[in-house]
Amino acid sequence: MAADLWVFVRKAKEVYSWYSFAAGGFALAVAGGVWLVSHGIPWPLAAMAGYCTVSAAFVVALIPSLLRRTNDSADIQISKPNYSIWRHRREYHLYEAAYLLADSEPNRRPELMSGDAAAWFNLLSEAIKEDELKRIQITQDDNANTFPGSGYKPHFDTRVDAAELRRFCEQRGITARFLRE
C-alpha cells in the first residue's frame, strides 16, 4: 500500500513539475502578449513573442521524456554474429569487418559502434591508407573519397575482399573467426 502511494506521489510530482512548467509558459505568453499590446507594441509582434514563449516552454517540458528515451537506448543488447553465415561472404564493407573483428553483430548506424569496433575500424582504415590492406577499387568511390594531398579516405562503405582481409589478419596475427573456412 505504501509502495503504491509512493509511486503515485512520484508520478504526480513528475506531472505537476513539468506540465505545470508548460502551462506556466502558456500563461506567461498570454499575459506577456496582453502587456505588450497594452503598451503600444503592434499585435503581430506581441503574438510572435507569445508564440516563441509557448514553443520554448513546451520544448523545455519535453526534456525529461527525451532524456528517458536516450537513457533507454543505452540498454540495447548487442548480439553476437553468426560466423557460419558471415564466413560465406566474398567481400566485406569496412564497418562489417570492424564489427566482426570486435565480435559484434554489424550495425550500419555509426553512433551505435562500440569502442572495440571503432578501434578495429580505425586500424583497418590506417592499413588501407598505408597500402597494407588492399581495398576493392570502385571508380565512383574513388572519385568521391580521394582527396588531393591526402589520397583515399576509407569510410564505412569501403569494400575489402575476404581473401585480402584473411591475408592481412594472418600477417598481423589477428584471429578472425568469421574468416575461418
Sequence ranges of the domains in the chain: 2-73, 83-179
Q: What is the pLDDT along the chain (181 residues), one digit of tens a residue?
A: 566 666 765 665 565 566 676 777 788 888 888 888 899 999 888 889 888 888 887 777 777 777 666 655 555 566 788 888 888 889 999 999 999 898 888 887 777 778 888 899 999 999 999 989 998 888 888 788 888 888 888 888 899 998 999 899 889 888 888 777 5
- Contact status, residue 68 vs residue 133, Cβ threshold 8 Å: no
pLDDT at 69: 67
Provide the pLDDT for residue 51: 87
The 10 Å Cβ neighbour count of residue 138 is 13
Output the DSSP codes for 42-107: -HHHHHHHHHHHHHHHHHHHHHHHHHHHHHHHTTPPPPPP-HHHHTT-SEEEHHHHHHHHTTS---
- On whether the CB atoms of residues 110 and 146 are closer than 8 A, the answer is no
Q: How far is CA 71 from CA 66, 68, 105, 112, in A?
A: 9, 5, 21, 13
The reported pLDDT for the residue numbered 164 is 92
Q: Dihedral angle at the C-alpha atoms of 171, 89, 83, 73, nearest 10 degrees?
A: 100
Give the Cβ contact number of residue 171 at 10 Å.
11
